[in-house]
Amino acid sequence: MKEPRPRDEIDKLYKTKRWRKLRPVIIARDYGLCQECKRRDLVRKGVVVHHIIEAREDISKFWDEDNLELVCLACHNRDHPERSGGDKKVKTKRKVVKFYANRE
- Look at residue 71 and tell me whether its pLDDT is greater than 80: yes
Q: Where are the beta strands (DSSP E) in 24-63?
A: 48-51
Backbone region of residue 24 per phi and psi (left: phi > 0; alpha: psi in -120 to 50; beta: other values) = alpha
Q: Which helix (H) or strand (E) holds 29?
A: helix 17-29
68 vs 66: CA distance, rounded Å: 6
- Report pLDDT for 80: 77
- Look at residue 93 and tell me whether its pLDDT is greater than 60: no
Give pLDDT tens digits for 14-56. 999 999 999 999 999 999 999 999 999 999 999 999 999 999 8
Stronger pLDDT, 96 or 9, i.e. the higher one: 9
- Report pLDDT for 17: 98
Stronger pLDDT, 9 or 39, i.e. the higher one: 39
**Half-sphere exposure of residue 27: CA atoms within 13 angstroms, side-chain side:** 13
Query: Quick check: pTM over 0.75?
Result: no
